[in-house]
Chain A
Amino acid sequence: MRFLTTVAVASLAFGGAWLGVVEAKSVSGDRVLVLVPKVEAAKLYSQFLDSLTGRGFDISVRAATNTSVALQVDGVRTYDHAVVLSPESKKLGANLSVRDFVSFVDDGGNLVLTASSELSELGRKLAARFGVEYERRGTAVIDHVAHLRAINDTSDHTLVAAGPPKTAAPVLSKQFAHPQSNPVYFKGIAHKYEPSNPMLISVLTGSRTTYSAPIGSDANEGAISLSGKALGLVSVFQTRNNARVAFSGSAALFSDALLSQEGGANKQFTTDISQWVLQEKAVLRETAHRHYLASTGERPEHYRISNEIVYEIDLSVYHDDAWHPYNSKDVQFEAIMLDPYIRATLNSTESTDPKTTATYHGDIKLPDRYGTFTFRVNYKRTGYSNVDVKDTVGIWPLRHDEYPRFLSAAYPYYISSLVMAVGFLALCAAWMWSAEPKTKRTTKQKSN
């Protein structure tokens, strides 16, 4: 029976792939809005859009001028992802503002934003919200050394060939890590990015010979505002709520012309970027976590100081259309009360569901300090979704009858009180059974 269903599902999937109507492969949904200057312009990007469709997305291609396009209606997202391929449009859809885009992202929507030398003010302001600062209008990225030579070589060297930096690892596929990998062709505008911003990952930068200058100007005139590695071409951003945004200084990067260019890796690059942004890979999640007393295996209402406990967390990562176990050696557990009292690395252990999840395990001895602690696994790694699991747990002091009853240090006191008691009894006995001479008693009474 099980075999049959498996076959059925497999055949369905197989057949579906052929027909291009598979179920969504993204974790967060399959509705994609694609904004192009005019509907006909979508043809320029047919390869890229077809690959999206082929991956199971439900694409709505709309003209940027279409005023019925809204990202959210009554506070509910109408799309799960948006790809803006019309960087020069001054108005997008129903006069979408920067605020609309930000609120779309706040709501968990993902964005692919493209730019060009004639980037509109809207696109520029929107990017600035994410710490991506595009160069001035009319500038372009130029590289006189690394550029595409094939098309009747003139002095126009704006179609540059670039490679991704090492930081881009989880976003891009492995082949880009190879030093001799094919370059990505890029034609458009550069942007500044803040390398120390942990939310922003640069995935395509200029080489040492790349610079940004106004189109047609002479490089020697001191018009260069940005060059080399600091010059960002494509960057991606992951928000605190794990929504993802890509900023490409070039819309052409996604075009059929460059995707089909020989010797270029644009096809793979756009696939990688879109897979990452549309939550098809590097999506990390915590499926379950638990903590319990090591002695009983049960989770009490609250712990006591210095209890030995076990903390376990299950992590899985999504890629290639399925959840897989996430294997790593740097998952850390913290017990925090204002400051971390315990910070321990969790070891991977036998998982309950080895096909999809990896289980991390830690034997923890709670601090000798009572209070309200937060058990936290705050796992944030570049390119992966943030996992931040918090439990507020009370650690109580010992019960009045849980303290040690007899302390060896106190034995002198026990003995002394015993001796005292015995002595008192002896004295009482001696006093009670020894008659006083009568004469003495009378004198005493007199004196009183």
Chain B
Amino acid sequence: MVNKVLGLTAADQASLLRIAILGLISLVAIGSRLYSVIRFESVIHEFDPWFNYRTTRYLVDHGFDKFWNWFDETAWYPLGRVVGGTLYPGIMVTSATIYNALHLINIPVDIRNVCVFLAPAFSALTAIATYHLGKEVKNATAGLLAAAFIGVAPGYISRSVAGSYDNEGIAIFLLVFTFFLWLRSVRLGSALYGALTAISYFYMVSAWGGYVFIINLIPLHVFALLVMGRFSNRLYVAYSTFYVIGTLASMQIPFVGFQPTFTSEHMAALGTFGLIQLVAFASFARTLVPENHFRTLLRGAVVSLFVVGLSGLVLLTMSGVIAPWTGRFYSLWDTGYAKIHIPIIASVSEHQPTAWPNFFFDLNMLIWLLPAGIYFSFSELSDNHVFLILYSIFAAYFASVMVRLILTLTPIVCVLAGVAMAHVFETYLNLRDVPAAAQLKAKATPDVVAATDAVKSLVDAVSDDTAIEDTDSASGHKKDGKRGKGAKKNAAKAVEPTTDTSVDGAGTSSTQPSVPTSKELSPALKRFYALFPKFVVMTCFMFLLCMFQWHCSWITSTAYSSPSVVLSSRGPDGSHLIIDDFREAYYWLRKNTKPEAKVLSWWDYGYQLAGMADRTTLVDNNTWNNTHIATVGKIMASDEDTAYELARHHDVDYVLIVFGAMLGYSGDDINKFLWMVRIAQGVYPDDVKEEEFYNSQGQYAISDDASPAMKNSLMHKLSYYRFADVMGGQGFDRVRKQKLPTSVTLDNFEEAYTTENWMVRIYKVKDLDNLGRSHHAASKF
């Protein structure tokens, strides 16, 4: 029974192994996120992270009190931004705490490096939290597999590579950890764990707007359990503790404030809280009323309360007492909503509906293990499994309407895939009951065969290699199809006792009762028949797992490790070229303009401008003021004189645009221009009209056959001004695949700087003419 190795008992060995495996998973998780640092450098990526980085620096430099009350005059000029009250401070506070702690022990690390490596570090924590979640819903095997999956799943890596210093980087850890604590508190009925869930939830609220997902999913779980008639004191304790502490705590974040009391997003939680009080009262009343009467009473009361509550909610929302859902949430129900009503949301690529290949791209084989995992959850259906099922269904829906929500889907996919994979492992790696299994198989009746069939039928769908097996199992399967289904549940249970130990390798499993061996087959052959299918299935799965790892590394290195601030390309000879135009332009602004200069650009570049160029911007990625953004869109879409007047009215000194025609960089401003026009049209329908920007053939052209509005627009002029000079007479726009416009004149603006590859162009807004002439007239003479 006790096999001591190095003086450790089997249980100790198992936990040592688990710790070692988790450690390795963490290492892999961190390691695979470092491609960007190795390929490029330790730099903050993309757009939003630049804001987080800038605010973190402010927090480190000025302390928490100033950070809390910070009003940023340099953003959204001249409106300004109340930074302290409009951000989720979790990530900044986390980094600043790490920074201060490291400095306290005399490790002089730069705050930038803390920020760059925060997301990879938290991904290791996510893996550990996922392990616990998996262990909570099934066992350590499932937990380890889930941890291994989330460690490398591209769906999560896409938001947590080194340098991707964004809220999601820590929020996914908090999401998983909160759910883990929640499930444990439901299972144990522990007020302590309920409170811990609330604290974890508070941290989540402080870190990411996605906390709304938690505050809707947990009540949904509770509600589902109530409807299923699974009310228990454990559930009551867990939810009441969580809701009260969590809500009070979340209201301490200024950005959230009193929202939990009056916005629709939080009403489900409040309603469920009320409901569970009633149910608790009812179950108390149950002791006073005969059982069978009570059941009907209870069900009726729950349903009618739900109807009354919902209609009350609708009424209150319609009468305006409760704030209606924000546009971003509407677009979750109706994917066409944003495009019509809120172009600013629709214009963001990560808010687009997900293309189907994306799921496979981001989750690879996990995506088809997900249904298997859901199936196994149904076959057990404890309170925890109800949660997993709800989570997977809702996250899957949200992930398919908005690309970036694949992120919230990833953890549950990993957990359920871990569960499914654990089932496969436990069935096919269980070599101990081989003789028994072989025997049973020959008879083609007992439960275990049915169970293996169940798993295998899933496998068959994917892997042709298992076709050999069919001859063996088909008979039993066909003969007894109906029973097989019924047997699956039993099978899962039958497998259960072996689960904990099969991976541990301690060999303490309770083997199936041995059945007398058949007389026709020799023992070796029997062994072969028993082992061969297992061997084949396991080979397939190991192959798939390897391919999964391969895929993840490949995706991470090719697709998700580009900082987008620095671009790379391959020269004709295959050499690695670094394109650093953005930083070049921002650095130029930093060094060559007045510190108080105001730079106008499309909002995408606002955070980067503030972070890298340290100049005042008009609009940025915190798209809170649609009118202001529309004004910038109008400036870009208007003719030069109107644009000049508006720009001067807003005290603009420089205009920055991104132009990709030289390199073929398709994410440039001309390609975004239609969105600018649409957004401007939303606010200034009389001044800007989208249809005027298509030429007579209805095309979006930029060359000489472009529409007059297009040719006169500031954006077009700033983009192509003097571009033909460098490209020659037969110049060609390499993004639009069109000829260049031949004559582009510019009077009110003068070129200040153009970067090496013409990707960023900066123009100065001319001062008013001294003699009171228009610049057009002044430049003519």
Residues of A bordering B, CB below 8 Å: 98-99, 102, 105-106, 125, 129-131, 197, 199, 237, 239-241, 243, 302, 337-338, 370-374, 392, 394, 396-397, 399-400, 444, 447
Contact = CB atoms under 8 A, between A and B. Distances in A.
Interface in B728-781: 768-773, 781
Given A105-B771, A239-B770, A400-B68, A371 B82 contact: no
Interface string B68-93: 11010100011110101100000000
Contacts of A199: 771-772
B82 A397 contact: yes
Given A372-B80, A394-B80, A397-B82, A338 B649 contact: yes
Contacts of A129: 771, 773, 781
B210 interface: no
Interface in B633-656: 649-651
Contacts of A400: 68-69, 84, 254
A447 B289 CA distance: 12
Contact of B781 (A99, A105, A237, A241): A99
Interface in B649-686: 649-651
B79 A105 contact: no
Nearest to B79: A371
Contact of A241 (B82, B84, B651, B770): B770
A260 B771 CA distance: 35
A252 B254 CA distance: 77
Q: Which 7 A-B pairs have the closest CB atoms?
A: A372-B78, A394-B73, A396-B71, A239-B770, A399-B69, A371-B80, A372-B73
A240 B769 CA distance: 8
B517 to A, nearest CB: 50
Contacts of A239: 770-772
A374 B651 CA distance: 10
B326 interface: no
A98 B596 contact: no
A302 B85 CA distance: 18
A370 B772 contact: no
B82 A240 contact: no
Contact of B287 (A106, A125, A338, A447): A447
A399 to B, nearest CB: 5
A392 B73 CA distance: 10
Nearest to B287: A447
Contact of A105 (B68, B82, B770): B770
Nearest to B74: A372
A106 B80 CA distance: 35
Contacts of A397: 71, 82, 85
Interface in B279-311: 287
Given A99-B781, A373-B78, A447-B287, A131 B772 contact: yes
Contacts of B73: 302, 372, 394
B772 A240 contact: yes
Nearest to A338: B78
Given A98-B781, A240-B772, A241-B770, A371 B78 contact: yes
Interface residues of B, number: 24
A433 B287 CA distance: 24
B10 to A, nearest CB: 37
Contacts of B772: 131, 197, 199, 239-240
Contacts of A237: 771
B235 to A, nearest CB: 15
A324 B68 CA distance: 50
Nearest to A237: B771
> Which of B84, B649, B771 has the largest number of chain A CB atoms within 10 A?
B771
A85 B310 CA distance: 90
A125 B777 CA distance: 13
Given A98-B781, A129-B781, A370 B80 contact: yes
Contacts of A102: 770-771
12 contacts: A98-B781, A102-B771, A199-B772, A239-B771, A240-B768, A338-B650, A370-B82, A372-B79, A374-B78, A394-B71, A397-B85, A400-B68
Nearest to A97: B781
Contacts of A392: 596
Contact of A106 (B71, B78, B596, B770): B770
Contacts of A372: 73, 77-80
A370 B71 contact: yes
Nearest to A392: B596
A302 B70 CA distance: 11
A425 to B, nearest CB: 17
A447 to B, nearest CB: 6
A240 B596 CA distance: 22
A373 B78 CA distance: 7
Contact of B79 (A99, A106, A337, A396): A337
A106 B768 CA distance: 11
A199 B85 CA distance: 47
Given A105-B770, A197-B772, A370-B82, 18 more contacts: A105-B771, A129-B773, A129-B781, A130-B771, A199-B771, A237-B771, A240-B768, A241-B770, A302-B71, A337-B78, A337-B79, A370-B80, A371-B79, A373-B78, A374-B78, A392-B596, A394-B73, A400-B254
Contacts of B80: 370-372, 394
Contacts of B287: 444, 447
Nearest to B616: A372
A301 to B, nearest CB: 10
B581 to A, nearest CB: 30
Nearest to B254: A400
Contacts of A338: 78, 649-650
B737 to A, nearest CB: 41
A240 B767 CA distance: 10
Nearest to A102: B771
A342 B117 CA distance: 49
Interface in B467-484: none
A241 B77 CA distance: 27
A147 to B, nearest CB: 34
Interface in B82-130: 82, 84-85
Interface string B245-256: 000000000100
A240 B650 contact: no
Nearest to B768: A240
A302 B287 CA distance: 66
A302 B73 CA distance: 10
B240 to A, nearest CB: 14
A448 B71 CA distance: 58
A272 B85 CA distance: 61
B557 to A, nearest CB: 44
Contacts of B773: 129
A397 B773 CA distance: 41
A197 B650 CA distance: 25
Nearest to A241: B770
A240 B69 CA distance: 41
A392 B771 CA distance: 26
> Which of A199, A239, A371 has the largest number of chain B CB atoms within 10 A?
A371
B232 to A, nearest CB: 10
A73 B241 CA distance: 82
